[in-house]
Amino acid sequence: MTLQQFLLCLLIRYLLYLIADPLQCLVPEKKRTQRREHTRYIPNERARECEYVRFPFALLRNLVTKAEVPLSKIVRDLSLPIRVHGSCVNTKEELVADWRDSLHNSVDGRGLRESVASPLSNRWLVFPERVFPRIFIRGIQLRCNLLRTRVRSARHGHGGQTILCRGNCGQPESLVHILQSCWIMRDARCARHNRVARELAKRLRRLGYTVFEELRAPTSTSFIKPDLIAVRERRATVIDVSVVSDGRGVTVWNEKKQKYGADEFSPDIISALRATGCDVDFLVHQPMIISYRGICFPQSVKGTS
């Protein structure tokens, strides 16, 4: 709010205060308090107050019914626009939309765009009592890209500190670099991938699927080994898990579909399943793509729901 708008609010408040009671400004504070307490016993005063209460202007009504009205309430009653990130906002809906756009256009919030289309990935935020407090806090920090790295520390003015990765790989030490490409974290990335695949297999078995983990299917030149193959009612679903960086969901999805969805590999997978005793007539390919922030790719959610 500018100084001009602030002074305008004060002026309007003073004028409307005089309208409610022209002699109010001449009465000491102590007597004004006593006068308000005894107003209910004075018929004319009570009638005049009720008349102002019925007045359609919300600001005047609040000034009459409440002894002290905060300035923020006056601003809301006047419907004055506020400025958020350089743009004027008039309604609550505009405020929410402006904050959302500002977050999604920032460095840390760019990867949160996909969470809007994947509400299933946000369910753990609604039930925090199901997660240990420390894990819940770390999960929010991971989701919002708030975990401490050299790049993030340098952003807050810690001068003289290098931003290069401590793994001596010559790349800036950002969160996405540590979790997705740094050679030191390779074993941790493999363990993360395996945990996701095992958890998915466990849940599929609860739903009545027969699940094969890393089943080798010989081909004409070599073999393919998808992460999971879920079989139920003579139908097999090939699932390959990938944890990707922000914005790479579509690219990795297409790569997985081309790799395991090729017509030349479908008979090989069906033959490998029949060799284990599963009678399969139909085969579909459903990649499971998850971002390193824990946001599931929307097409993966639709395919597995």
Query: Model pTM greater than 0.75?
Result: no
Class of domain 199-304 (CATH, top level): alpha beta
Q: What is the pLDDT of residue 9?
A: 58
Q: What is the pLDDT of residue 40?
A: 47
Q: What is the pLDDT of residue 153?
A: 83
Q: Could you write out the DSSP letters of every residue in the chain?
A: --HHHHHHHHHHHHHHHHHH-TTGGGS-HHHHHHHHHTGGG-HHHHHHHHHHHT-S-HHHHHHHH-S---HHHHHHHHT--EEETTEEE-SHHHHHHHHHHHHHTSTTTGGGHHHHT-GGGGHHHH-GGGS-HHHHHHHHHHHTT-S--HHHHHHTT-TT---B-TTSSSSB--HHHHHHT-GGGHHHHHHHHHHHHHHHHHHHHHTT-EEEES--EE-SSSEE--SEEEEETTEEEEE-EEEE-TT-HHHHHHHHHHHHS-TTTHHHHHHHHHHTT----EEEE--EEEETTS-B-HHHHHHH-
Average pLDDT per 10 consecutive residues for the chain, totaling 305 residues: 55 52 45 48 52 50 55 59 69 78 82 80 85 90 88 73 87 91 92 93 92 87 87 89 89 83 78 86 88 86 64
Indicate the domain borders of the chain: 3-78, 199-304
